Amino acid sequence: MMQEVIAEAEKSLLHTYNRYQIVLDRGEGVYLYDIEGKRYLDFASGIGVFALGYHYGDFDDALKAQIDKLLHTSNYYYNLPAVEAAKKIRRISGMDRVFFTNSGAEAVEGAIKTARKYAYLKDGRTDHEIIAMQHSFHGRTMGALSVTGTPKYREAFAPMIGHIRFAELNDMDSVMAQLSDKTCAILVETIQGEGGIHPAQEAFLRDLRRLCDERDLLLILDEIQCGMGRTGAYYAWQRFGIRPDIMTTAKALGGGVPVGAFLVTEAVGAHSLSAGDHGTTYGGNPFAAAAVSRMIDLFEENHILEHVREISACLEEKLDDLVKRCDFIKERRGCGLMQGLECRDAVGTVIDRALKAGLILINAGPSVIRLLPPLVIEREHVDEMMEILETCLKEGVR
């Protein structure tokens, strides 16, 4: 049955993914099941989407209740779930204004437009530049792709939107070398995800904040993958006591419902986008907004951030011990429940073996094993993952 479904998919779907050869059917807690009933411990959570795992609390009931009321209105009208979700995300983020999108890439598109409009209103110029980071990843749409600092993603789709410069993460000299009188914003993933799990250092972020304040530039932080509790704070930058001018968020924000957002400070909101500058048909619809609202409620009611800080300490300790004992692994990088194991060779074989053994992992580049489990994992799940991973690593380096 599995191969029949896969064969049919290959006839119909555009081949833009090299998919793993399983067909997933359902989830429960932190486990997924394929259509033949095999169980998998999920340490990818849909690329960081299912922060609370599958069927957590009354999340499903909140979605079902909203389905029975109203799914969509368009943004010509107000709707109560969007207002409630906006109020809650403002509270947990410390930002002031919200624009709901359908995805992380769309949130990045909105952030770019906001930064350029802010600069345009200051001087009327249209040649403003954005500094992004090498090895970054911000999405597959043309604007988001233009600020993605990995050439292989961009090459076939050139020309990009233009006026983008790239600096090195955690290197202020590199940033200063790209700075010009045309610079209007600096864009950074607080933790680079696809680029290999590279956290931005506190000193680097503080220096960027200081530079932006001095030059009236906008600091844009991409929290699409590392946000919504994954580091033990709602957003990774909050651990350092700074605040961006613009922030993007998505993935775990809707707990599996497609939704993203970009948020801005009051100063940016008052001097950038105005009516007619930006829009979305589906963004902020009642169904997606109800998901955001209930996700935030569940985080608060069940002390998810505290749990992440506790369980991630256990995970990091066990991963560090594994690094010491396994020559195949060079180092561990990451924060909270966003971890990467940099290996000495390609990790595809290890990930394939783990999948056969009932553990879902993904990579972050050819040599990095990426761990993005649901935030509700317990110690027993860490132990189960470690047992399978260590076995697969030993097999992979023979």
Per the CATH hierarchy, to which homologous superfamily does domain 2-57+303-396 belong? Aspartate Aminotransferase, domain 1 (3.90.1150.10)
pTM over 0.95: yes
The answer as to CATH 3.30.1330.40 being correct for domain 70-301 is no
Confidence of residue 1 (pLDDT cuts 50, 70, 90): confident
What proportion of the chain, given as a percentage, has pLDDT over 70?
Answer: 99
**DSSP codes of every residue in 57-116:** TTHHHHHHHHHTT-S---TTS--HHHHHHHHHHHHHH--SEEEEESSHHHHHHHHHHHHH
pLDDT value of residue 215:
97
Q: What is the pLDDT of residues 172-214, one digit of tens each?
A: 999 999 999 999 999 999 999 999 999 999 999 999 999 999 9
pLDDT band at 396 (very low <50, low <70, confident <90, very high): low
Would you say residue 398 has pLDDT above 90? no
State the pLDDT at residue 397: 56
pLDDT in tens, 235-269: 999 999 999 999 999 999 999 999 999 999 999 99
* Ranges of each domain in the chain: 2-57+303-396, 70-301
Q: Would you state the pLDDT for residue 394?
A: 86
Equal CATH topology for 2-57+303-396 and 70-301:
no
For residue range 334-387, list pLDDT tens digits in order. Answer: 999 999 999 999 999 999 999 999 999 999 999 999 999 999 999 999 999 999
Q: What is the dihedral of CA 323, 328, 334, 340, to 10 degrees?
A: -140
